[in-house]
Structure 1
């Protein structure tokens, strides 16, 4: 009797793909949970100030964001002075009216009275720019304004 058998006539078994759908759905679920979807790409420095009396807004679809601050390090070619960002582009003060009117037009008529303009202003931004933004909003009757902040003590804004 021989000690070793000849295996030339046998074939390798097929790879089982029964667990492949499980692996695919597990990866899909992982990336859906781990990925943070951001509506706008920030082109400005946006370190929000602290506030101690904050409320969370319920319906994010009714919020129109206006960002203000100095351009981030990737966008130094546009200067170092504080700028306004509407959606994914830099804008001027005069562009705010058209932005708000376009956002109102994209919403159903019954939701327009509930729209809120959220100002996400960097803590080092000059208040003159914020005043100009508010003046433009008053001219088109966008009077519901929210200042986005971080939760904390207001005295934390004094630290460098």
Structure 2
């Protein structure tokens, strides 16, 4: 006979759920802090072209975004020509200057010389529209322009 006998009739103790609300609130706070809210809702088609020499922008708070492309499928009533999107609305070329000036004023004084304009242009958009956007940016003296692209071989743009 063995000295140690196992009590086969003993039941497992119930799992304590006292710390469950603490865990739930920790997860809630984590996701509230870690989640990045999207600033703009795209209303234009924005399939970015490929480029092989890409650099990442360091500070996202020093970037002014301008989108260009054909209206997305939800906005077909606007037409099929490429349009400019500033914030969450369609805009004309002459609305770029006031938009950029307003964005510059909203940034701290120390960051203003380092602001960059990021053009997120659909790969099927004609360069005439991009040239017009750049001309308007020159009138506001926004000469630091970044073209947002996807990383890859530039020959992929021909497909």
TM-score range, shorter chain: 0.7 to 0.9
Query: 19-28 or 70-79: which moved more?
Result: 19-28
Q: How far 1:36 sits from its partner (Å)?
A: 4.9
* Residue-by-residue CA offset, 1:66-91 (whole Å, 9 max, x unaligned): 00000111111111110000011110
Structure 1 residues 80 and 16: CA distance shift in structure 2, 3 A: same
Structure 1, unaligned stretches of length 5 or more?
A: 1-14
Q: Which residue of 1 aligns with 2:13?
A: none
Equivalent residues in 2 for 1:103-122, closer than 5 Å: 103-122=103-122
Aligned mates of 2:118, 2:58 — CA distance in 1: 13
Residue 19 (str. 1) matches residue 26 (str. 2): no
Aligned mates of 1:133, 1:16 — CA distance in 2: 59
Equivalent residues in 2 for 1:75-154, closer than 5 Å: 75-154=75-154
Aligned mates of 2:148, 2:108 — CA distance in 1: 25
Q: Which residue of 2 aligns with 1:56?
A: 56
What TM-score, normalized to structure 1? 0.83
SS of the residue 1:94 aligns to: helix
SS of the residue 1:54 aligns to: coil
Aligned mates of 2:91, 2:150 — CA distance in 1: 25
Matched positions, count: 144
Structure 2, unaligned stretches of length 5 or more?
A: 1-15
Q: How far 1:42 sits from its partner (Å)?
A: 0.5
Equivalent residues in 2 for 1:67-78, closer than 5 Å: 67-78=67-78
Q: How far 1:16 sits from its partner (Å)?
A: 5.5
Structure 1 residues 29 and 85: CA distance shift in structure 2, 3 A: same
Aligned mates of 1:94, 1:56 — CA distance in 2: 29
What TM-score, normalized to structure 2? 0.84
Structure 1 residues 16 and 108: CA distance shift in structure 2, 3 A: closer
SS of the residue 2:24 aligns to: helix
